[in-house]
Amino acid sequence: MNLPDALLEQARQCANETGRTVTSLVEEALRKLLAEHQATSSKPSRRITTDGLPRGRLLVDVTDRDAVWRELDRA
Residue 42: predicted pLDDT: 64
Residue 22 lies in a domain: yes
pTM over 0.85: no
Q: Look at residue 50 and tell me whether its pLDDT is greater than 90.
A: no
In whole angstroms, what is the distance from residue 32 CA to residue 26 CA?
10
Percent pLDDT > 90 in the chain is 41
In whole angstroms, what is the distance from residue 4 CA to residue 54 CA?
52
Least Cα distance to 18 among 10, 74, 44 occurs for: 10
Residue 2 lies in a domain: yes
Segments in the chain forming alpha helices (H): 5-18, 22-41, 65-74
Residue 62 lies in a domain: no
Residue 38: predicted pLDDT: 82
Residue 19 lies in a domain: yes
Least Cα distance to 25 among 53, 1, 41 occurs for: 1
Domain span holding position 5: 1-42
